[in-house]
Amino acid sequence: MTGPGVVQQQDHPTYRRSIDELFSITSSCLAELMATQQAKGAPNKAIFIPFYQSFLDLFMQTSKSKIMEGEEELIDEINQWMNPDNRITENRVKKGKQLFMRWGRALEHHGIHTFTK
């Protein structure tokens, strides 16, 4: 699963569309992961990877933005969750969902993405 590539923040409409696309991709991956976990009772590693990859892509494209200053605590939490040494467990999936939703709200708060409207 690949996103739209690196977009310069100076091209604001294109940047926002790119972030919206990455957010949608990540959301779809999370939905598939959660549905599979619901059906099977355990996280599927093959389905976890697209969620992880798209969330990482979204995070990498947005976390270094100056506009995200003030979100250091959340950024640190996400960086810890992203550590590839962490095992893929049900708790990690739940935490990833929570972090993704919190990151979406933070992006909305800073005007990068509309999450709740």
Average pLDDT over residues 15-30: 88
Residue 84 confidence (pLDDT):
92
In a domain, 80, yes or no: yes
Range of the domain at 101: 12-109
In a domain, 58, yes or no: yes
In a domain, 115, yes or no: no
In a domain, 1, yes or no: no
Residue keyed to tokens 């996400």:
78
58 pLDDT tier (thresholds 50, 70, 90): very high
Domain count, the chain: 1
In a domain, 6, yes or no: no
State pTM to two decimals.
0.82
Q: By the 8 A CB rule, do 18 and 3 touch?
A: yes
In a domain, 2, yes or no: no
CB neighbour list of residue 36: distance below 8 Å, 6 or more residues apart: 43, 44, 47
In a domain, 93, yes or no: yes
